[in-house]
Amino acid sequence: MTEQNQNVQEIALMKKLWPMYTLIGFFSMAFSGIYILVVPLSSLFWPEDPFHALEMGILITSLLWGVSISGIIFSRIIDNYRINRMKILLMVAIMRGFCMIMLSFTVEGQGITTWWYFYAFTVLFSLFGGGNFPNVASIAHDIVPKSQRSRFFGIHSIFRMIFQLVGFIISGLFVELGFWRLFFLLTGLALILSGIGTFTKISEPKRGAQRQELRSALKDDSVEYEYQIDKEMMKKTMLSKTNLVALVEGIFTSVFLGSLTILVLPYIQTPPHN
């Protein structure tokens, strides 16, 4: 294959995956909007009270833990039950979009009642969030050639970070203008529409289709790739000593950065520093 033909194929693939990049971006924007608004949301729940650190800390912790735990569950479902992954991604987009829209109907100023309403849909939002990255990674493995996979995840990260930063700015601006409901409503609609667009534009790829040693065999529609990692292989790879050390280090790093963020946000957004 000539270099020119390869470049043409790469461009065609990137265009094909454009809806998925957009969906990934809106996932990130929705998450960042909830995360950055801990202080304004506390004021919406308890207008006459100072910042409720405990309740808002529980809200953000549940948001993060929900994504983590559900990610493990979704990963097992994707690997073991061979369900159409594009349908899972569509379901995730619709449910997360629905949750964002429901958050826009939060009634202000009712204290713990308002908090419980917001908490319930935030947790539901996070539980479906675990179906995002494991699903995208699995699809990318079967639709993106190995030579382009690093580029795919590079673009994936770029979209995620850009939309996250934009989400910080837009959500804060909407709150200052008094249109916080509009942020949740528009983001929810964007998630649903981008999910539908991704589902209609990208077909479910055949598992293992991009593995060089299986490519010829999998051209036959009757042949399916059904390999599943076993516990012994998990111990040698994911649960190796090196990976466990990295996991422990990552946990403490996340605790430190998360604690720093949740302390800084109230500090700079409450009197007299705001």
Interval 17-68: pLDDT, tens: 888 999 999 999 998 888 888 888 988 899 988 888 889 888 988 988 898 8
Q: Is 108 left (phi over 0), alpha (psi -120 to 50) or beta?
A: beta
Residues 6+ apart with CB under 8 A from 166: 29
Cis omega (within 30 of 0) for bond into 272: yes
Tell me what pLDDT residue 6 has: 56
Residue 17 CA to its chain's centroid (Å):
17
Q: Which of 221, 195, 187, 189 is nearest to 207 (CA)?
A: 221
Q: Which of 38-42, 66-70, 99-103, 109-113 is the most confident on average?
A: 99-103
The percentage of the chain sitting over the pLDDT mark of 70, rounded to a whole number, equals 81
Does the pLDDT value for residue 90 go beyond 60?
Answer: yes
Q: Which of 114-118, 201-205, 248-252 is the most confident on average?
A: 114-118
Does the pLDDT value for residue 264 go beyond 80?
Answer: no
Does the pLDDT value for residue 5 go beyond 60?
Answer: no
Report pLDDT digits (tens) over 205-254: 877 666 665 555 555 555 555 656 667 776 777 777 787 887 787 777 77
Gap between the Cα atoms of 97 and 92, Å rounded? 8
